[in-house]
Structure 1
Amino acid sequence: MNTNATIEKMQKMRLNGMKRAYESSFETRNQDTFTNDEFIAWLIESEDTQRNNNRTDRLLKNARFHYQASIEEINYTPDRDLDRNLLTRLSDCSFIDRHENMIITGCTGTGKSFLATALGYQGCIKGYKVLYYNLGKLFNKLTMAKADGTYMKELTKIENHDLLIIDDFGLQAINNEKQLILMDLIEDRNQRKSTIFCSQLPVKNWYDLIEEKTIADAILDRIIHSAIRFELKGESMRKKMKNN
């Protein structure tokens, strides 16, 4: 058996996980403890693990998160009034399969973005395509796309993501062209994809954000209906971390 030729063929076929495991087997001599069937199964499992890790890395990179967050790091102190059982159920990401929206509200620093990002990270680990955007930057991107003729292309890219996280919803009035852009975004995803909205404003104040009330009715009916809601309370998490 020509070991070097086998390794070269694995590299040529881009079986990098299998190649790495095969090479390590000569250092650890663990192939001596396997039957032939077990050794082949181990090599295939190594390749599968490598491919899953690569896919997760790509999904995380494409999601454009501002920082890393995980479900395990979420703080459940009593003052936050955060339902641990609900979050545990949501961590399987089946809400994405059901195309359910989520609304996370709370004062500045209460951890809205962290919670949304943690769910987004979990989605990437589960193999879902996730995209994170600050609403102001998303408006700017799509406004520029309208100007250069790529608007529909950009909308399609966003629609193709299983989960869209829109942060800082409500920091600015949604008027003129912005309300039409938001309507296009929501209409494309309605009952087909999931969206998480993070906002400092209580949901009851969202109606006043949107200039044209007919459009406001249409948008909010699609966003709020049957959405999973979290209202985060307590002291600013940033302040707590600084004091600690």
Structure 2
Amino acid sequence: MSRISVRGFAVASATAVTTVGAVVGVAAGNQPGLDGSNTQATAADATIADLPAGQQAQVQTASLTQQADDQSTQADVAALKSAQESARKAAAQTAQEKKDAADEAKAKADAEARKKKLEVSRSATRDASDFVAKGSYTIAETQAMARQMIPGEQFQCFSNIVSHESGWNYQAVNASSGAYGLVQALPGSKMSSAGADWQTNPATQIKWGLNYMNSRYGSPCGAWSFWQQNSWY
């Protein structure tokens, strides 16, 4: 029969240790009343098989109880860690969702602000009919009209296109295609939708060109971006 050492059970119960020591002391021939150190030393070398059945049960119960307590503590710690990790992930997800919602709201607000700004800018510009017709116009006069008709932040883009297309000559004609005017409309008669004087009035050509860029590309800057990639618009 194998012998299980009491020391292997860690003698979790102080009462069990005292009882084991006392029983082993008697079994070894020691008389009651000896000092506790001898009793404890003898108990350390004892085995459960040396104890009466009742004492064995006490030692085993104490050891099993301690093991159960340790396992329960470990389970509690694991559960707490799991709960903390779940809470951390939930908090991180909530924070990300709030950030995404805030970013989306800001983007919408910015877009709305730009739209209103553009509308205000366009409403503040002059129409072709606001200018008195003349027999001829210089480049400087034509550019001055364009500055008054085109929103400020869009003028440079419009100017870039006109500079490449016609050099600001409102009577420019493309010999090969027949494109006409500041923005080189093809055919030039398209510009009649902006005014019957499209051949002689740069303001009418500017009006038509601005409407074309806005409807096809969203703005003169949109048209200029396309032109840079394709050399036409």
Q: TM-score range by the shorter chain?
A: under 0.3
Q: Which has the higher strand share?
A: 1
Q: Which has the higher helix share?
A: 2
Q: Give TM-score, length-normalised by structure 2.
A: 0.28
Q: Give TM-score, length-normalised by structure 1.
A: 0.27
RCO comparison, higher one (Cα < 8 Å, 6+): 1
Q: Which has more radius of gyration?
A: 2
